[in-house]
Amino acid sequence: MNFISAIAAATIVAVSANLQAAEICGALGETYGDYRNSDNKGMLELVERFHFTRDVENLVKGNTAYIGGDLSYTLYRFPNHHRALMSMAKLALREKSPRASNASYSVQCYFDRAFRFMPDDGVAHMIYGIYLSKLGNPASKAAVTEQFNEAIRLEPDNANINYNLGLIYFQEKDYEHARTYAKKAYELGFPLSGLKDKLTAAGKWAE
């Protein structure tokens, strides 16, 4: 079984009990709080200054350690740090591994930790859905849909989530749903016209 098949198979089996999840993916430990909470701005700026620099985010080089180590520390302190989750996922994809080099846990575990930490964070589910979609394995399609549905359930008026769900449907050539979520995203103020342009080129956009 190759690494993509292994990850896809693992995502289908959800870890439902927090105790079991903590045993597999680690207890949450001493966090600095919700990434979305402006009250944590001071600690967030401190962590990002030393561990989530532009080079770390863009996977160029580590700052205090290897890239995987700096991302791990960022996600230890802020388990639902959206940009760090995306970077960790990209690093694992680049390395074609379920666990990025020098990371403390697998990609799946970092998302499990984010969900346990902030169960109402729809964007974290969206990012996991994007990661799963990039695995390119048919077995992961159901998991992609599950993650985006959960993201929309949690944050139905989030323009970014609606836009990305529209992109997923467009990739599946489900143009009706793609157009529905695209229009919702634009009504909510999403600034990029990429999805509308794709639908227009496919002859599937109507004002």
List the domain boundaries for the chain.
3-155
Q: Which helix (H) or strand (E) holds 177?
A: helix 175-187
- Average pLDDT score, the chain: 90
Residue 15 has pLDDT above 80, yes or no: no
CA 129 from centre of chain: 6
Can you read off the two tokens belonging to residue 122? 């729809």
Dump pLDDT digits (tens) for 110-159: 999 999 999 999 999 999 999 999 998 877 888 998 999 999 999 999 99
Helices 122-133 and 107-117 sit at what angle, rounded to 10 degrees? 160
| Cα-Cα-Cα-Cα dihedral sign, residues 36, 39, 42, 43 | negative
Give the whole-angstrom CA distance, residue 166 versus residue 45: 32
Token digits of residue 88: 């960790």
What's residue 12's pLDDT? 39
The confidence score (pLDDT) of residue 21 equals 63
Quote the tokens at residue 181: 């979520």
Query: Which residue in this structure is represented by tokens 């970014």?
Result: 160
Pull the structure tokens for residue 39.
Answer: 């009250």
pTM: 0.87
Does pLDDT of 9 surpass 70? no
Query: Of 1.25.40, 1.10.10, 1.10.150, 1.10.3470, which CATH number belongs to 3-155?
Result: 1.25.40
Q: Residue 57 to residues 86, 90, 116, 179: CA-CA distances in angstroms?
A: 9, 10, 23, 32
